[in-house]
Amino acid sequence: ETGVTQTPRHLVMGMTNKKSLKCEQHLGHNAMYWYKQSAKKPLELMFVYSLEERVENNSVPSRFSPECPNSSHLFLHLHTLQPEDSALYLCASSQGLAGSGKFQETQYFGPGTRLLVL
């Protein structure tokens, strides 16, 4: 496996379900990110993790719960979602610590999980 992988690629869930999105990066990076991409909206940063520590939570509802057990894995636990949460969820990673000041560092993205909440 290379780069950033995400599973599942597609997910359909009811509003009462509990599911988890998984992201794994094979790049040796120290920072990982969750983004939400809704139709006709800019990319929204949800969470930032730096060496397994959450450094940013952009006012995301508590029905989204991130978990970062180590620097290679990132999860997004979902429960009691709403139909407006249907979107493409993208995971990304970058080399340096988030907020380290290294503006040159590129973010690399996974293929995303397309989520549909019924």
Q: Binding of other proteins at residue 98 (CB under 8 A)? A: yes
Distances (CA, A) of 3 to 16, 41, 103, 110: 33, 26, 20, 7
Q: How far is the CB of 65 from other proteins (least distance, A)?
A: 20
Q: Binding of other proteins at residue 111 (CB under 8 A)? A: yes
Q: 92 and 5 in contact (C-beta within 8 Å)?
A: no
> Which one of the spans 11-19, 41-49, 64-72, 76-84 is the region binding other proteins (CB under 8 A)?
41-49
Among 21, 92, 115, 117, binds other proteins (CB under 8 A): 92
Task: Give the 3-state secondary structure of residue 99.
Answer: coil
